[in-house]
Structure 1
Amino acid sequence: MLALQAAVVSHGRLGPAATAFASELATRLGCARVAVGFVEDRFSRVVAVSHGTLGDGPTESLRAIATAMDEAIEQAATVLSPALPELPPRIVLAHEELVRRDGGTVCSIPIAVGGELVGAVSLHFRQGGVPIEAPQLADWEHAVALVGPVLHFMRHGERPWRKRLRDRLRRGWAWLRSPSGSRARIAVAALLVALAVLLALPFDYRVGGNARVEGAIQRVLVAPVDGFLKRSEVRPGDRVRAGQVLAELAEQDLQLERNKWSSELAQHENAYAAAMARADRAQLVISQAKAAEARAQLDLVDEQLGRIRIEAPFDGVVIRGDLSQSLGAPVQRGDVLLTVAPRERFRVIVEVDERDIAGVKVGQGGTLALSALPWDTLPLVVTRITPMAAAVEGRNVFEVEASLPSQPESLRPGLRGVAKIVVGQAPLAWAWTHRLIDWARLGVWSWLGH
């Protein structure tokens, strides 16, 4: 057996290794011919013959040897013709035909690998040779069982991948049909059902992204005049009523300016009266014009004094502007001081990726999950789609505005979360893979474009 193994492993390919094995076995057993064959497409095919090479195609003799190998493989046992009386009876039609052709004694021993019969070794002894005994058959079977798998794996490594895959599928199918594959059949059936659901059954397809809650109306309150901040009555988060004073500017500068223009107005009125008494028409017109200018400036200062108190335009909540730490600080006309939003009217801004914006339409519904309320989802309805994209964290997104039909008491402007918009129905397999397919399609298009 060591000599047979050495003859096989000294070659790197199946043909020379099988020929060396057959030749070594024929020499040691005194056989006229030893042939090695393997099952190919459910029938045996001779791959090597001792002390010789195979021809270009199967000859009549090789077909007869392969048929005898098939006979032994089908019975999963060693077949000998003429048979020994002490051995169990076997079907020996193909072996008897081979004996009639070539004479002598023919013995076929199957090659088993992993419980599967993959080939056979055919031994042909000359007529009148040493009689064969049952212990000898056992030794030959041991030799084939030892060397046959080595030849099988060499053959398996040389086969094209298509044939190897086909064999694996065939063996897997045979195992599934066997009694031991009942659990596997159940698993495969469940897998096929799941695959059918993924590929055929449509589900709601949702797109979306990060979302934030804002007031439906945001009123910005600015400094009406240049001055200094005198007091602040509210901070962000405070609820306010319409007309409530939120902040106040210092009025000292405006009062001084009012006194200035009041004094100038009195001077111009006195000059006007004196010119009228003198009947000085030119001075009368000049004094009248300067008095009108001073009166207009005085009205402007009075208007500014009336606006130094910043009041809430409607019932709502302060969402931006903490002035408590800026008391006494100078402010300029137009500086943003506070932002007020309605208390019960909100909108949701959803950042939808540019790859998904084509499916979003006004009127579509969805859900909103806020970080502050992770277990509660709020329904939303798309009301507007911003036509321009914006870069957010390295991505191009479109801002989609949505309304909230139901608004809980705990809702506050500035809350953030994730929103999903139902844009249609599609199989789950498509929903999970379409982005990858689109990316690959775009990559192929870009590559072919160059």
Structure 2
Amino acid sequence: MSHDRLRPAATALASELATRLGCEWVAIGFVEDRFCRVVALSHGGIGEGGSDTLKVFGAAMDEALDQAATVVFPQPPDRPPRIVLAHDELLRTRGGGVCTIPIAVGHELVGAVLFQFSEPVSSPAADIADWEHAVALLGPVLYFMRDRERPLRRRMGDRFRQLRARLRAPDNVRWRVGLSAAGVVLAGLLFAPVEYRIGGNARVEGEIQRVLVAPVDGFLKQSLVRPGDRVKVGQVLAELAEQDLQLEHNRWASELAQHENAYAAAMARADRTQLVISQARADEARAQLALVDEQLGRTRIEAPFDGVVIRGDLSQSLGSPVQRGDVLLTVAPRERFRVIVEVDERDIGRVRLGQPGSLALSALPWDTLAVTVARITPMATAVEGRNVFEVEARLDAQPDTLRPGLRGVARIAVGREPLLWAWTHRLVEWLRLGAWSWLGV
């Protein structure tokens, strides 16, 4: 445990075992691609030993792992017989004795420790049992150090092979049948066409919105409604101060009287020149007077139709100056609405007139409203860093709780697509666009 990596830790363990037990060699190996490979020799000898020696050690370890038991060769008379062909091959050139103990983690054999002695193994069964206990305690520690160092793909491959081996076990028939059925169902869900919907933020607006503006320059006299108030056609909504216009009316009325008197005097004198001049000036005064009268009639701002005020709180602006054309109020019908859906530019190509959809409003989350696409705006606008197209939809039914300005989410059914495509097409499109922009293909 004083080492951070597998190889020095395994070498330290092999060296300690060789010193305590008087071994000529101690080798530690782990299963890699179904065969045991030596990862450490006692006293750092893995760098000195040739590949043939390591192969012989590995074959002896495989022989013990295949039998899932400790193999001692030459075999003592008090131990059960084992297959020892690889162990015999190991001792042909080296002589002495050898003992190979498998390393087990859970219910799986993951490696082995090989002890080679210069003399045949004459230790009693109790000593060999002690060696097995030591390997059982220390072997898993090395295995987990090795597992931590391995690449992720190899670890995932091992987990997959372990899972497959467990599923192939005779006592896991129900699991195999269940997983097969789940796989069939999942494949059906992924590849069977389902209704594909595209969505976006939506808002409710009046089908007709009338903006009421200041007809003349002046001052706001009073405001009779606020946003949310229902109004009737012809109802006075606000008034502008008419004092200045009344003074203007009086001025032009006085000038008109003067020009009419001058006209009468010129007619009495038979002065044609003065008669024409007075008549022209009187006509100008009449026109200005008519204009002022018209402006006086416009100081009362009236509702153009039955509806509801959706914008314009003038109660805090009484007495403030207004200029001609300033927006004062916005009125929308009370029972005729439209839905504006913000559709992302990546999805607008799939939207067609007449497609059905549904609308869920934040104020009415317990219910959804059916809508139908009625119009597609051909111009994109930037909203929160992305381009969207405004799609106008018609409500199939309009509940009494609906109000202009409500917001929510709308989804439009644009066809049937496999569920797998619906989940992955964004990523595929992004990769295609990235490949085209990076590689030019």
Matched, 1:177 2:168: yes
Q: Residue by residue, what CA displacement relative to the aligned partner does 1:24-56 show, whole Å, maximum 9, x if unpaired?
A: 47736xx7x766554443344566777976754
Q: Using the TM superposition, name which of 72-81 and 312-321 deviates more.
A: 72-81
Tell me the CA shift for residue 387 of structure 1. Answer: 1.0
Give, as a single letter, the amino acid of the residue that structure 1 aligns with 2:208: I
Tell me the CA shift for residue 218 of structure 1. Answer: 1.6
Contact 1:205 1:426 in 2 (8 A): no
SS at the partner of 1:58? helix
Gaps of 5+ in 2: none
State the TM-score, normalizing by the size of structure 1: 0.74
Equivalences, count:
436
Tell me the CA shift for residue 18 of structure 1. Answer: 7.3
Could you tell me how far apart the structure 2 residues matched to 1:84 and 1:67 are?
Answer: 21
Tell me the CA shift for residue 208 of structure 1. Answer: 0.6
Tell me the CA shift for residue 21 of structure 1. Answer: 5.8
Contact 1:230 1:250 in 2 (8 A): yes
Out of 9, 17, 22, the position equivalent to 1:27 is: 22
Matched, 1:236 2:236: no
Q: 1:105 to 1:254 in 2, by over 3 A?
A: closer
Q: Residue by residue, what CA displacement relative to the aligned partner does 1:218-248 show, whole Å, maximum 9, x if unpaired?
A: 2122333344555544333232232333344
Contact 1:205 1:431 in 2 (8 A): no
Out of 67, 72, 83, the position equivalent to 1:75 is: 67
Give, as a single letter, the amino acid of the residue that structure 2 aligns with 1:320: R
Alignment-derived partner of residue 58 in structure 1:
52
Could you tell me how far apart the structure 2 residues matched to 1:62 and 1:139 are?
Answer: 27
Q: 1:145 to 1:310 in 2, by over 3 A?
A: closer
Supply the RMSD in Å over aligned alpha carbons.
4.7
Q: 1:113 to 1:315 in 2, by over 3 A?
A: closer
Could you tell me how far apart the structure 1 residues matched to 2:165 and 2:383 are?
Answer: 57
Alignment-derived partner of residue 293 in structure 2:
302
**Largest Rg, 1 or 2:** 1
Could you tell me how far apart the structure 2 residues matched to 1:377 and 1:194 are?
Answer: 30
Matched, 1:384 2:376: yes
Contact 2:12 2:42 in 1 (8 A): no
Could you tell me how far apart the structure 1 residues matched to 2:431 and 2:312 are?
Answer: 48
Q: Residue by residue, what CA displacement relative to the aligned partner does 1:322-345 show, whole Å, maximum 9, x if unpaired?
A: 445555655443333332211222
Alignment-derived partner of residue 335 in structure 2:
344
Q: Using the TM superposition, name which of 365-374 and 131-140 deviates more.
A: 131-140
Q: 1:253 to 1:189 in 2, by over 3 A?
A: same
SS at the partner of 2:158? helix
Q: 1:338 to 1:101 in 2, by over 3 A?
A: closer
Q: 1:57 to 1:346 in 2, by over 3 A?
A: same
Q: Using the TM superposition, name which of 337-346 and 106-115 deviates more.
A: 106-115
Q: 1:151 to 1:222 in 2, by over 3 A?
A: closer
Tell me the CA shift for residue 279 of structure 1. Answer: 2.8
Alignment-derived partner of residue 212 in structure 1:
203
Could you tell me how far apart the structure 2 residues matched to 1:10 and 1:257 are?
Answer: 99
Could you tell me how far apart the structure 2 residues matched to 1:387 and 1:178 are?
Answer: 63
1:32-431 matches, within 5 Å, as: 38-45=30-37, 56-58=50-52, 63=56, 69-80=61-72, 83-84=75-76, 86-91=78-83, 107-121=99-113, 133-146=124-137, 148-149=139-140, 152=143, 163-178=154-169, 192=183, 196=187, 199-201=190-192, 202-209=194-201, 211-251=202-242, 253-324=244-315, 331-353=322-344, 357=348, 359-382=350-373, 383-385=375-377, 387-392=379-384, 397-426=388-417, 431=422
Contact 2:220 2:317 in 1 (8 A): yes
Contact 1:10 1:17 in 2 (8 A): no
Q: 1:274 to 1:367 in 2, by over 3 A?
A: same
SS at the partner of 1:313? coil
Q: Residue by residue, what CA displacement relative to the aligned partner does 1:176-223 show, whole Å, maximum 9, x if unpaired?
A: 3346768976886687568646753455232312x3322222212233
